[in-house]
Structure 1
Amino acid sequence: MKTCPYCGSHIERMDHQYYYCDFCCMKIDIRIIKENHERLEVRFRDLVLTAYIDKTTPEIMTLSTFELLYLLKMIRKERNDMYHHLHVFHRAGDAGIDDFKEAEKKSGQDYMYFTKKAFIVENIIRSRIGYVPARITEKFLANYLENIKNDKKGPMIIRTKRQST
């Protein structure tokens, strides 16, 4: 039996791409329809590559919240490193060493790049969970992952009668 992935109700097919849930009052894409009151699955990877930083904003928006949190941790580290390099090269330039002007410029561009990437990821996270964590530690990520793994997995069934023993 086809059921709504949000409330567990029986649903009716509208057309080749959608079903309709009377309780939720909404069309549901056929790709997320469930069987026998199953819950929505949480999609995530517990491995995030640094190459994800260079993804476009629409590509970043497809990542799970866990992946976004991990990505933000990496971006913040890169941004911090670029700020440190920018500061060092700026001080070297102030000391009269002109060889570091190009490195300072490149570090400044990289710093701006990582800052904008951080803004993107922070805003996506904010829209999903309502806030952006000030610090994202390995412990924070491990706890988040543990909460995902320990989430309710049982079917969405409402018991209507009390069962006698």
Structure 2
Amino acid sequence: MITCKYCGQELRFVGEKDNEHYFNCSFCEIIFPLSETSVERKRKMSVPEYYDESFYVPTKKLLERDTISLYHLLKDVRATWYSIKSLLEKLKAMDSENSLPKPSEVDDDTVKNLKREFIDLSKRKFAIENIILERTGYLPPKITEDFLSQIVEQGREASNKPMFVYIK
């Protein structure tokens, strides 16, 4: 039985377009393509099998990713962002102490590129943080492996609960 991924109600076939079957949920008032439905009132798995590690994508692509993948991406982008930030701070401190050798054109370009990369990563970090904040209402200050393990486990447990209405 094909069921709604949100409420668990059995769906009614409404037609086919471009080789895709569509189903209607009269409770949710939504028409779904077959790929967006559930079977036998089982929930869709909220935990991806893998996540795409690339954060160098447009924000529109980030919006298409699931929240758990975004947490992983945020952990990665924060680590890269922090590394570049630390390097720029060290270079600035060395420059103010005059302990840097006379800058060459190559060194100057390297610093400019690092600054551009830092600005780009800052914006990517903000975009991922704001998507997560918009979806969950919460932004963790630090994302650890323990935090990621917990949300993955909680997601798996919740996804395995079927949607049956019981009256006692």
User: 2:7 matched to which residue of 1?
Assistant: 7
Q: What is the correspondence of 1:69-148 to structure 2 with a 5 Å cutoff?
A: 69-94=71-96, 95=98, 97-99=102-104, 100-148=107-155
Which of 37, 41, 45 in structure 2 is aligned with 1:41? 45
**CA–CA distance in structure 1, aligned partners of residues 123 and 88 of structure 2:** 16
Moved >6 Å (runs of 4+): none
Once the two structures are aligned, what percentage of the paired residues are identical?
24
Gap runs ≥5 in structure 2: none
Once the two structures are TM-superposed, the CA of residue 135 in structure 1 deviates from its matched residue by 1.0
TM-score, normalised to structure 2, is 0.81
Q: How many correspondences in the alignment?
A: 159
* SS of residue paired to 1:53: coil
Cα displacement string for residues 49-108 of structure 1 (whole angstroms, at most 9, x for unaligned residues): 3xx122222322232212111111111111111111112223344426323433321221
Quick check: 2:45–2:156 contact (8 Å CA) kept in 1? no
Q: When the two structures are superposed, what TM-score results if normalisation uses the length of structure 1?
A: 0.83
Higher relative contact order structure (alpha carbons within 8 Å, sequence separation ≥ 6): 2
The 1-side partners of 2:146 and 2:47 are apart by: 21
Consecutive unaligned residues in structure 1, runs of 5 or more: none
Backbone CA RMSD of aligned residues: 2.1
Counterpart residue number, 1:68: 70
Q: Are the counterparts in 2 of residues 4 and 33 from structure 1 also a CA contact under 8 Å?
A: yes
